Amino acid sequence: MKDMKVAPSLLSANFADLKSDLEKINQSEADWLHLDIMDGVFVPNISFGFPVLKYVAELSQKPLDVHLMIVQPEKFIPEVKALGAMMMNVHYEACPHLHRVIQQIKEAGMKAGVTLNPATPVAMLEDIIMDVDMVLLMSVNPGFGGQKFIPNTFKKIAQLREMITRCQASALIEVDGGVNVQNAPLLKKAGADVLVAGSSVFRAPDMGEAIHQLKNAE
Ligand code: DX5
Ligand code: ZN
């Protein structure tokens, strides 16, 4: 079976000791580092911004998977690029001109991801699936770490996998919210390629072991 990618979400890290948490992630089997940027408008919370992420980017040895939970994310393409981000994910619900934003992200030299809130149907991606490098399915309502996984996500992963196969698209499927060692094998079976995990990694007694278990979920 194909290898599962794991992207720990820094949102659940100890912000007073980010360096030590980042070192643990660097030493782990994590594939990417997931960074959640919130604006208090698109989602009812504010996380961290670019002045903080500049230092995070300097310390991280993992490719950066940036998840923008903000209105008008296209305004910040240069800032995300300046971090050296590998992937920039924007929300479908925040982009009336999604096709243009996706092209702009790619023109900036990054991979482009589109994110769906739990209530947005996968079918909305039919006319953009060939253009995106990844679809990020939210399995909680965005804005907070530590929420409960929404089981309807399994159906959405299967529908998305069917669309990708039918269109011969190459987009990866990433799942974000409430991911843990219990649901990871089921997410893999449903067709997920990348798992984002915040609290299940950062609150585990051994972070490296938690990441190892998610990666090897069967
Ligand atoms: C939620 C964020 C997630 C969050 C996941 O808005 O997009 O990346 O950090 O945290 P857990 O894994 O704790 O649900
Ligand atoms: Zn996220």
Which three-class secondary structure state does DSSP give residue 86? coil
* Distance in angstroms (rounded) separating the CA atoms of residues 119 and 111: 25
Which pLDDT belongs to residue 140? 99
Closest listed ligand to the CA of 66: 2
Task: Report yes or no on whether pTM surpasses 0.90.
Answer: yes
Backbone phi and psi for residue 18, each to the nearest 5 degrees, phi listed first: -60, -35
Taking CA atoms only, the protein residue closest to ligand 1 atom 4 is: 145
Which pLDDT belongs to residue 202? 98
Is 49 known to sit in a ligand binding site? no
- Listed residue (184, 97, 102, 183) closest to 135, CA to CA: 102
Taking CA atoms only, the protein residue closest to ligand 1 atom 6 is: 142
- Listed residue (62, 120, 61) closest to 90, CA to CA: 120
Q: Ligand 1 centroid to 188 CA: how many Å?
A: 18
CB 57 within 8 A of CB 50: no
Is 199 known to sit in a ligand binding site? yes
Q: Residues with Cβ < 8 Å from 150, sequence gap 6 or more? A: 118, 139, 140, 177, 178
Closest listed ligand to the CA of 202: 1
Q: Ligand 2 centroid to 36 CA: how many Å?
A: 5
Give, for ligand 1, the residue of 6, 12, 175 to mutate: max count of ligand atoms closer than 8 Å to Cβ.
Answer: 12
Which pLDDT belongs to residue 88? 99
Is 146 known to sit in a ligand binding site? yes
**What is the mean predicted confidence (pLDDT) over 19-35?**
98
Q: How many domains are contained in the chain? A: 1
- Give how far Cα 29 sits from Cα of 24, 62, 139, 169, Å: 10, 10, 23, 27
Structure tokens at 170: 């190459």
Q: How confident is the model at residue 3 (pLDDT cuts 50, 70, 90)?
A: confident
pLDDT digits 0-9 by tens, 51-89: 999 999 999 999 999 999 999 999 999 999 999 999 999
Q: Residues with Cβ < 8 Å from 7, sequence gap 6 or more? A: 30, 31, 32, 33, 34, 65, 174, 194, 195, 196, 197
Q: Is 206 a catalytic residue?
A: no
DSSP of 150-165: -TTHHHHHHHHHHHHH
* Distance in angstroms (rounded) separating the CA atoms of residues 92 and 56: 26
Q: Is the pLDDT of residue 161 over 70?
A: yes
Q: Ligand 2 centroid to 40 CA: how many Å?
A: 15
Q: Is the pLDDT of residue 196 over 60?
A: yes
Residue 179 CB-density burial (10 A; 0-12 exposed, 13-18 middle, 19+ buried)? buried
Q: Is 36 a catalytic residue?
A: yes
Specify the CATH number for the domain of residue 28.
Answer: 3.20.20.70
Domain span at 118 = 5-215
